[in-house]
Amino acid sequence: MKIFLTGKNGQLGHRLLEDLKKIHEIIATDRNTLDLLDTQLIEDSIYQVKPDVIINAAAYTNVDQAEKEKDLAYKINALAPEALSRAAKELDIPIIHISTDYVFDGTKERSYVEDDEVNPLSVYGMTKWEGEEFVRQHPKHFILRTSWVFSSLGDNFLKSIFKLVQEKNSLHMVDDQWGSPTSVETLSKAIQIIIQYLDQKNNSDVYGTYHVTSDGKTNWYLYTRKILDTLESFKVELKLKKYDLHPISSAQFPQNATRPKNSKLNTDKFKKIFMAEFSHWENEMNDTVLQMLK
């Protein structure tokens, strides 16, 4: 298949490019080759390439900065997906669009399913929700909501903590925000499953919104403790000791953007329809840390 991929230099885009180019023809773009603020350019580029499927892995992901750059976040997270979806509809091809757990407000006690009511608490969450709605205007869409993405590349929580625990003598981490750390390998696997399904069946019954995360859940404090444990098991010399890692509440750690207290996503729908299984986040984190230590 010929695949048009945005965000090739992001942590997910990079992983997808490496995985998909082994089998498919990939037209991969970044901010230098495709200006996501130019919606006409986006459409023209797709019309010129005429791909079989579009994967939108590009996004404005700085949650706190989005509170100050609302217009920019809206253009990248909402208007760019609208242009991608409009071109996909014109060419009658599927689009795979990545969204976020932050479309929910976190007040639900159990894991969120795809049909739960959204209520974003931040500009980032709102613009991602608006992007979803634009993508849904084209029937042939897959919207994959995910959470707490990590890899050995790019900017993410795991890499930040990996550095901090080797430099800091103490840390305070929030312990009342729960979610599922998700590796780019899990996301790439899910997208490859969809691509393979489309290549074989092109069944319109499977289009829609899905939740895709690694298995298991945690909070930021426990996540950091697990990173500490993992690094210690690999004999990494650390300045930070376990007793110098302190749990705090969200109220004690004010940020520009409000985060949901619970953003755990239920992945049963994807697993059932595509007969898929995902690894536990702790196992995938261990693998990622090993990559980072090489």
Q: Which residues are catalytic?
A: 124
And the tokens for 226? 């697990």
Strands 218-219, 178-179: pairing kind: antiparallel
E-assigned strand segments in 36-193: 53-56, 95-100, 141-146, 149-150, 171-174, 178-179, 182-183
Distance from C-alpha of 252 to C-alpha of 250, rounded to nearest angstrom: 5
Q: 13: which residues sit within 8 A by CB, 6+ positions away?
A: 5, 6, 7, 28, 30, 57, 58
Angle between helix axes 281-293 and 184-200 (nearest 10 degrees) is 110
Packing angle, helices 11-20 and 184-200, rounded to 10:
40
